[in-house]
């Protein structure tokens, strides 16, 4: 770790820092009530964006995630199921009822004896309303998760990894550390060891999940945490898991802990 970087590596790292306007002082999130984008060396993907993209994220009128946010707000209030209930019928105003929820998730659910993330909680609630579940990457699911997550904007991620969640957390860590695919790479080989370097056209970030659901410019739409997991798996020519699978839930818990203290950012933008 302490070995000096080869000259070509050092030079390129410096160039990248220059290009992305990356500075050493931990900058604060735009909103003064937010925790900073960097804490104890953990860095949000926000810090790997160009200044222009950051400005886009910070401007609530230009942020492309605002469409999902508004649609999610409507869904929160929309009656559904035979009893014509909405989320609001039971929970009231999301701006008070849902504060801090996304910052704690995923959580261990005793009834299922497993982890539940925001997407699965939404479908569990819809089941209670006798409404049809949303498909994992559907526009409605992405919209409602964006809206729900935004109620914790600026709050630090603080997942609970103790108690019954512990073995699942360790499973997530093992997933993160395992080499896989025809390219034989682990998550950490890119996101711990080579951050700031250019992998073809992309500058590799720490792969933090605090921004999700993100508006991904290259996909022209909102994307969930599990979708980027599958994308990174597929990029190394590994067989991905299904969105919502126990493997990705365990990975999500590990990733949330790995980025502990970083701010929830939705609606956020990534490349």
Partner 1 sequence: MIWRAVIGSCLLMAAGFVSSPQAQTPATYRIENGEVPAPLTAEPGNPARGRQTVRDMTHVTCLICHALPIPEEPDHGEIGPPLAGIGSRYSAGALRARLMDPKAFNPESIMPAYFRTDGLNRVGAEFRGRTIYTPQQIEDVVAYLLSLKEP
Note the residues at the interface with partner 1 (CB under 8 A).
Answer: 6, 8-9, 12, 178-185, 189, 193-194, 197-201, 234, 237-240
**Distance of alpha carbon 209 from alpha carbon 129, whole angstroms:** 30
Taking CB under 6 A as the criterion, the residue among 31, 74, 177, 202 binding ligand HEC is 202
User: Which tokens belong to 37?
Assistant: 């984008």
Work out whether 224 is an interface residue with ligand HEC (CB under 6 A): no
Output the CA torsion sign for 117, 120, 124, 213: positive
Angle between helices 118-128 and 139-150 (to 10 degrees): 110
| Residue with smaller CB distance to ligand HEC, 98 or 251 | 251
Question: Which residues within the stretch 241-260 sit at the binding site for ligand HEC (CB under 6 A)?
Answer: 251, 255
| Residue with smaller CB distance to ligand HEC, 91 or 179 | 179
Work out whether 106 is an interface residue with ligand HEC (CB under 6 A): no
| Residue with smaller CB distance to ligand HEC, 78 or 236 | 236
Work out whether 217 is an interface residue with ligand HEC (CB under 6 A): no
**Distance of alpha carbon 235 from alpha carbon 239, whole angstroms:** 10
The nearest distance, CB 195 to partner 1, in angstroms, is 11
Work out whether 191 is an interface residue with ligand HEC (CB under 6 A): yes
Backbone angles phi, psi at 166, to 5 degrees: -55, -50
Cα-based angle 9, 10, 12 (whole degrees, multiple of 5):
65
Cα-based angle 180, 174, 249 (whole degrees, multiple of 5):
95
Any catalytic annotation for residue 232?
Answer: yes
- With 0-12 / 13-18 / 19 or more C-beta atoms within 10 angstroms meaning exposed / middle / buried, residue 58 is middle
| Residue with smaller CB distance to ligand HEC, 85 or 252 | 252
Angle between helices 225-235 and 246-258 (to 10 degrees): 100
Question: Which residues within the stretch 27-46 sit at the binding site for ligand HEC (CB under 6 A)?
Answer: 45
What is the binding site for ligand HEC (CB under 6 A)?
45, 176, 185, 187, 189-191, 199, 202, 204-205, 207-209, 211, 214, 228-229, 232-233, 235-236, 251, 255, 270-271
Active site residues: 232
């Amino acid at each position: 770790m302490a070995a000096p970087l080869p000259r070509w590596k050092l030079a390129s790292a410096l160039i990248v820092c220059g290009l992305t306007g990356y500075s050493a002082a931990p900058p604060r999130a735009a909103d003064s009530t937010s925790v900073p984008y960097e804490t104890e060396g953990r860095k949000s993907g926000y810090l790997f964006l160009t200044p222009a993209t950051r400005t886009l994220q910070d401007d609530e009128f230009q942020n492309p995630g605002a469409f999902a946010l508004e649609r999610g707000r409507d869904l929160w209030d929309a009656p559904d199921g035979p009893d014509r209930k909405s989320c609001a019928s039971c929970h009231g105003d999301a701006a008070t009822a849902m504060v801090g929820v996304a910052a704690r998730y995923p959580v261990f659910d005793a009834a299922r004896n497993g982890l539940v993330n925001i997407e699965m909680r939404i479908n569990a609630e819809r089941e209670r309303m006798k409404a049809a579940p949303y498909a994992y990457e559907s526009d409605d699911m992405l919209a409602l998760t964006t809206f729900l997550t935004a109620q914790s904007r600026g709050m630090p991620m603080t997942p609970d990894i103790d108690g019954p969640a512990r073995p699942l957390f360790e499973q997530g860590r093992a997933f993160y550390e395992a080499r896989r695919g025809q390219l034989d790479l682990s998550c950490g080989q890119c996101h711990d060891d080579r951050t700031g370097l250019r992998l073809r056209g992309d500058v590799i970030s720490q792969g933090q999940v605090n921004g999700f659901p993100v508006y991904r410019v290259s996909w022209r739409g909102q994307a969930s945490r599990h979708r980027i997991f599958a994308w990174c798996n597929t990029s190394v020519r590994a067989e991905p898991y299904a969105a919502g699978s126990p493997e990705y839930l365990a990975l999500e818990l590990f990733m949330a802990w790995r980025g502990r203290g970083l701010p929830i950012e939705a609606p956020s933008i990534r490349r």
